[in-house]
Amino acid sequence: MKLRVVFAGTPEFSVPCLEACRASGAEVVAVYTQPDRPAGRGRKLTPSPVKEAAIATGIPVEQPESLKSEEARATLAAYAPDLMVVVAYGLILPRKVLAIPRLGCWNVHASLLPRWRGAAPIQRAILAGDAESGVDLMQMEAGLDTGPVLLERRTPIGADDTGGSLHDRLAALGADVLAEGLARVMAGETLAPHPQPDEGVTYAHKLDKAEARLDFSRPAIELERQVRAFDPWPVAEGEISGETLRIWAARAIEGHGEPGTVLGMSRDGIDLACGEGALRVTALQRAGGKRITAADYLNAMKTRGA
């Protein structure tokens, strides 16, 4: 069975899923993505990664500010989609939009639902110390990530995983689970929906740059997770010897002292006392500088002090 698919997505995370749609043999008749936004130092209007991928392959692109108007719904209906695939699109789909495709709308979500519904499931899973994450292929409903799960892929969260590394792995898993779903439906199968349990619901609120500040009165293991979760954005920051620095890599170690005080400095890192244990900072960045190792930072300090 040939499928007419409308794809809706915006960031880099969505691009592998768009490629999976194209590779599946489905006909991607249109791509919906957020309007171009100002970016960079020049604040130049910049297309989304999904828009760039769509243009490169000649797929028509739609960029409505909202899908609430009759005009927006009429435009979508004119594409006569069998299915709409939504991956980190960033716009709410009203009930009337969900009802337009013959097979409804699928969503690829980067968590094991019902845990971490919402905007930032990847970083929230690392912050919480979750042992695993994954992606769910979900049949969309009007609620926020409340629909039944059709297929799932799981992956452990490693001790060295960052927001960036887990993002990339889940983006690939999302494309994998979507490809399976499309193949099975085009083979004539109806995917069985599994309603989400009522227990275990958590919400992954959008990241705020204010969350990047490290509070050394907290346990070191929580600060280690914060550093890993916020790499590559918004990047954790903390004060070392009176200077506010961006903290790119750190790990929890044994140690005791007044929270925030420097317990030691060596080529292995800069050790800072925390509410419980200590945090060894191994990569950091000064204001206006670039990311460097703790060893390079200490060498620069010696040079400045000479």
Same domain, 127 and 261: no
- Asked which of 204, 221, 239 is the last residue of a domain, the reply is 204
108-162 confidence digits (pLDDT tens): 999 999 999 999 999 999 999 999 999 999 999 999 999 999 999 999 999 999 9
What sign does the dihedral 29-35-40-44 (CA atoms) show? positive
- Asked which of 145, 179, 204 is the last residue of a domain, the reply is 204
Please give the full DSSP string across 183-231, using - where no structure is assigned: HHHHTTPPPPPBPPPSTT--EEPPP-GGGGB--TTSBHHHHHHHHHHTT
Same domain, 72 and 218: no
Same domain, 297 and 182: no
Instruction: Give the C-alpha separation, 232 to 161, whole Å.
Output: 12
Instruction: Give the C-alpha separation, 12 to 51, whole Å.
Output: 10
pLDDT at res. 305:
57
Helices (H), the chain: 15-23, 49-56, 70-78, 95-98, 121-127, 163-186, 220-229, 294-305
- Domain containing residue 9: CATH number: 3.40.50.170
Q: Is 18 annotated as a binding residue?
A: no
Same domain, 143 and 240: no
Instruction: Give the C-alpha separation, 202 to 124, whole Å.
Output: 10
Q: Is 113 annotated as a binding residue?
A: yes
pLDDT at res. 304:
64
Length of the chain: 306
pLDDT at res. 302:
73
Same domain, 200 and 216: no
Same domain, 217 and 200: no
The answer to whether residues 44 and 38 touch, using CB atoms and an 8 Å cutoff, is yes
Instruction: Give the C-alpha separation, 264 to 243, whole Å.
Output: 16
pTM (predicted TM-score)? 0.95
Q: Is 284 annotated as a binding residue?
A: no
Strand (E) or helix (H) holding 271? strand 269-273
pLDDT at res. 133:
98
Same domain, 131 and 181: yes
Tokens representing 63?
Answer: 């960029």
Same domain, 181 and 255: no
Same domain, 196 and 213: no
Same domain, 45 and 185: yes
pLDDT lower than 70: segments of the chain: 304-306
- Asked which of 204, 223, 251 is the last residue of a domain, the reply is 204
Q: Is 114 annotated as a binding residue?
A: yes
168-183 confidence digits (pLDDT tens): 999 999 999 999 999 9
For residue 112, give the nearest of 196, 207, 16 by alpha carbon.
Answer: 196
Same domain, 242 and 151: no
pLDDT at res. 306:
43
Give me the number of domains the chain comprises: 2
- Domain containing residue 299: CATH number: 3.10.25.10
Strand-strand pairing, 278-285 and 269-273: antiparallel
pLDDT at res. 41:
80
Q: What range does the domain containing 228 cover?
A: 209-305
Amino acid identity, residue 44?
Answer: K
Instruction: Give the C-alpha separation, 161 to 24, whole Å.
Output: 30
pLDDT at res. 43:
87
User: Radius of gyration over alpha carbons of the chain, in Å?
Assistant: 22
Same domain, 99 and 193: yes
